[in-house]
Amino acid sequence: ALPIYGAYALGANNVVVTTAPYYHAGMFGPVGSKAAFWAATVGGISIAIGALTYSRKVMATIGKKITPLSPFSALIVVMTHSLALHFFTWLKIPVSSSQAVVGAVIGVGIYHGAKTINKKTMAKIFAGWFITPLIAGLLAFGFFYVFGA
């Protein structure tokens, strides 16, 4: 049941984050229940395709490169990640599922001793968290500057 809850929490947070700009711009039709259904459907299918085709390396980073995980600690990670995502989704605050799961994995690592946490991997992840919004913002500005009305 926990993996189903985890998928629910992830979908409730991430599908909305990826489809909200299109939905509110009217690209799925007038804002309303039918448009919301199609936005969620397209977003969910797209996330599933991404998970099936491109997530193996990220999965390896989360599952074994930050800190060693046992089956029990993996269960704790999924449960706490899902609860955090669900909580912030309930508050209507978009949050990063990556940050939630990495935070949960770090929590397990701290419990087992901070020395179990791979500092090199964490430095790369933290750099990515800092650089990603900057790159996305610069790209959005650049694309709008070149192609915008």
The pLDDT score that the predictor gives to residue 13 is 86
Confirm if 62 and 102 have CB atoms less than 8 A apart. Answer: yes
Angle at 144 between CA 141 and CA 149, to 5 degrees: 145
Domain boundaries, the chain: 2-117
Average pLDDT, the chain: 92
Q: What is the pLDDT of residues 12-56, one digit of tens each?
A: 888 888 888 888 889 888 888 898 899 989 988 988 888 888 788
Q: Is the pLDDT of residue 149 over 80?
A: no
pLDDT, one tens digit per residue, over 92-121 is 998 999 999 999 999 999 999 999 999 999
- Mean pLDDT score, 137-146: 96
